[in-house]
Amino acid sequence: MVSLIITSLSFALSQKDFSKNYFLLVLSSLPVFLGGFLEDLTKKIGPKLRLLCAMFSGFLVYLLLGEALSRVDLPGFDYLLKNYALFSLLFTAFALAGVANAINIIDGFNGLASGACLMVFLSYSYVSFIVGDTFLLYTSLTIASAILGFFFWNFPFGYIFLGDGGAYLLGFLAGVIGVLLVERHQDVSAWFPFLLLLYPIYETIFSIIRKKFMRNTSPFEPDAIHLHMLIYKRLIKLNVGNTLPTFLANSLTSPYLWFMELLCVVPALLFWNNTYLLMLFSLLFIFFYTWLYFRIVRFKTPNLMKILLRRFKEEA
C-alpha cells in the first residue's frame, strides 16, 4: 500500500495523463485494505465485516472511476448487467469482495499468494500492452513490482507476511484490473480475468460447498483441509518434513500451487480474446482441481508429485 501511494504521488508530479485514475484506484482500495489490516492488528474484525469493507471498496470503484461490469459474456446474464445499473453495481461489488477473500484463503504458505498474484498482474500487463491501455499497463506493472519486492522477503524464509491487509488488497486489485480491462476493451473476453483468477476463486467455491454440504459447518469457519494444506500435510510433511527446516518445508508447498496457477495463466494469455476456449480451459481446470483434491484427501497423491519431491530431497 505504501508503494502504491508513493507511486501515485510520483505519477501526479510527473503529470502522467492517467495519474488521476491511478490515485482514485488506490483511494478506492483503502477500505478493503484497512479492514484486513485492522484484523491483523486487533484480531477483532470478523470475515463478514471484512467482506463488507471489500464490497464498499467495490462501490467506490463505481463512484470514483465510474466502472462496473456490464458483461460476463453470458447472454442472459449480460442483459441484466447492461439494463439494470443497480444489479451491475451489486454484482461487481460482490465479485470484487469474492476475489479479495479468495486470495486471502490461499495465503497460507511462503510465496503462495504473492507468487500467484505476481503471475496475474504480469498477465494483465501483457494484455494491457497489446490493447494499448497505458493506464492499466502502468498500474499492473507497479503492483507487480510491489509484489516482487515483498516476495523476496517472504519466500522462502518467511521474514515478512502479507497478512489479511496485504492479501485482501492484492485480491481486490486483481479483481478491479480485470473489471477495468473488460469494460474498457470489448475485444478482451470477460473470461480472461476469470480464468486468470480461477484457482483462488474455485478454491473458495469448493471450500464453501465442502463446508456447507459435506461437513455441515459454516462457510465462514476456517478449517485445515484446503488443497494447499493437504499438499503440505500429506505430501511435504510425510515425505521430507522431518529432514528439512520448518520454513523450507513450508516453502516447498508453494511451487505445487504455482503450477496450478500456471494451468490457468498459460491458456488465458494464449486465448485472452476467445471466450469459448477460455470457457473450455476453465472447465478443464475445475475437473483437474477436483480430481487432484480427492486423490490427495484419500491418500492417493499422484506419484509424479512424490517423485519430484524425492529428487529435491536427494539433491538437498
Please give the full DSSP string across 11-58, using - where no structure is assigned: HHHTT-TTHHHHHHHHHHTHHHHHHHHHHHHHS---HHHHHHHHHHHH
Distance CA 63, CA 291 (A): 42
Do residues 231 and 296 make contact, with C-beta atoms less than 8 angstroms apart? yes
State the residue range of the domain holding 138: 2-315
Name the nearest CA neighbour of 143 among 5, 268, 257, 43: 5
Distance CA 226, CA 230 (A): 6
pLDDT in tens, the chain (316 residues): 999 999 999 999 999 999 999 999 999 999 999 999 999 999 999 889 999 999 999 999 999 999 999 999 999 999 999 999 999 999 999 999 999 999 999 998 999 999 999 999 999 999 999 999 999 999 999 999 999 999 999 999 999 999 999 999 999 999 999 999 999 999 999 999 999 999 999 999 999 998 887 777 777 777 788 999 999 998 998 887 677 778 888 899 999 999 999 999 999 999 999 999 999 999 999 999 999 999 999 989 898 888 777 766 666 5
The pLDDT value given to residue 108? 87
Do residues 220 and 102 make contact, with C-beta atoms less than 8 angstroms apart? no
3-state secondary structure 273-289: CCHHHHHHHHHHHHHHH
The pLDDT value given to residue 212? 80
Query: What is the rounded (10 degree) CA torsion for 168, 179, 208, 226?
Result: -60
* Total domains, the chain: 1
For residue 216, the SS3 value is: coil
The pLDDT value given to residue 24? 97
Distance CA 37, CA 77 (A): 35
Do residues 191 and 271 make contact, with C-beta atoms less than 8 angstroms apart? no
The pLDDT value given to residue 258? 97
For residue 260, the SS3 value is: helix
3-state secondary structure 73-106: CCHHHHHHHHHCHHHHHHHHHHHHHHHHHHHHHH
